[in-house]
Structure 1
Amino acid sequence: MTATDYGDDGALVLFSGGQDSTTCLAWALDRFPRVETLGFDYGQRHRIELDCRARLRKGLTGLDQTWWRRLGRDHTIDLAALGEVSDTALTRETEIAMEADGLPNTFVPGRNLVFLTFAAALAYRRGLRHIVGGMCETDYSGYPDCRDDTIKALQVALNLGMQRRFVLHTPLMWLDKAATWALAEDLGGKALVDLVVEGSHTCYLGERGERHDWGYGCGTCPACELRAKGFARYANHSGI
């Protein structure tokens, strides 16, 4: 599908600096005539991800002249209040563990609901109809605000509450991590895979010291384990 299939509407991509959001940004650049990006600073333990964003944006525009022409402004919103009301392993220096309700303590309640609401408010002002996020309920940590039903319900609420026709896109919703790596290759070839490996950040602990085949990270947190296992399956299938 190309930009013409979506008309002249632009897109806003929730861009954290991680593997998933980088792949989603490439996906949007491949489809929409105008693309802007949005990051959130909520006091996350792995705030280093925000430092990766500029390099990734530059790297993506270097892969394709069309992408260079389509990529527009970058925005960052300070959501310190979200971190202040959250008592999680992503916003506090505490050990990552499972809670009694079956969710990992890395779950930040309401995070994606808040992110998408602020994204819609910004898209409203910027005249952007499409909002793209990396939510996935196929190969994930069980977060309820990543589920397809949640995103669909929120789209209805945002459209009613803002009297707009926003479309929330989640291109990774039904992909496991191996398929996400493969999607990156489909979109930008090995150069994009290499950019994701070298430039993006996913580790919950914010560890950038050790370089693995799949990128930088502690290698033991849930995010690193998902990324590593997915890359191994992708590499085995693609023969790299």
Structure 2
Amino acid sequence: MTTYSGKTIEEAIANGLKDLSLTRDQASVAVKVQPRNGFFGIGRKLAQVEITKKEEPKTEENNQASVKIVNQTFTVAGFDQAPTEDEDSEEQNEEKLQDIVTDLSTYLNDVIDAMGFEHTLSTDLKNHHSLYVNIDTAEEKQSLLIGRHGRTINAMQGLAQIYVNRLGANNLNVVLDIANYRARRSEALAQLAEKTARNAIANGKPVYLNPMPAFERKEIHNVLADNDHVITYSTGREPHRVIVVAPK
């Protein structure tokens, strides 16, 4: 089994058939990597296919022998039946998700390398809906990758989310973190929410917070959801959408 590359799947197949001196009918083709133009010029990939020569047709005698074997029941480690379609589908989805995580890691590595930072990435797929990506870099570089009020890491997280969505993982939520920044930011947002609520109640007027990304606005909403004295809502258009804390 040999792997061949090309800008398109058709080109990769043509390269393989020419090298192996086979016609299309004589070859079995398995697509290993779909071609990708990349995102903002980063992450470009060639198509890759594996090509093998098809086996010669079996004789009638061999076919009869094969039928006898197929009709037998084999028991391995206590199992006497093939995997169900649901099990096969679940395994395929798991493999696809792992491929997406690998592709995203490659993309993020390319982005951070292009920014000039030495780093390592680690990923934790907590379930089929949440992917935690930690970026480990030198301590003196951490604040640069995080950015003022988290703008740089939030921008990279936004790119990562768009990237996995483009790969078909629309239900996968990506969280990028550096030096436990997300936990520290969540604590700061909770304190901000409580302080803002007290100000709104004391002054009897709504308080408008600075623009922040949707996932941070959601944290403010959640912190004050059980507060009987204020309501929260968002107003404006992205990227200038703000959260408002108003007395009831």
TM range (shorter): under 0.3
Of structures 1 and 2, the larger Rg is shown by 2
Given the two structures, how large is their TM-score scaled by the length of structure 1?
0.22
Larger RCO (alpha carbons 8 Å, 6+ apart)? 1
Given the two structures, how large is their TM-score scaled by the length of structure 2?
0.22
Which structure has more strand as a fraction of its residues?
2
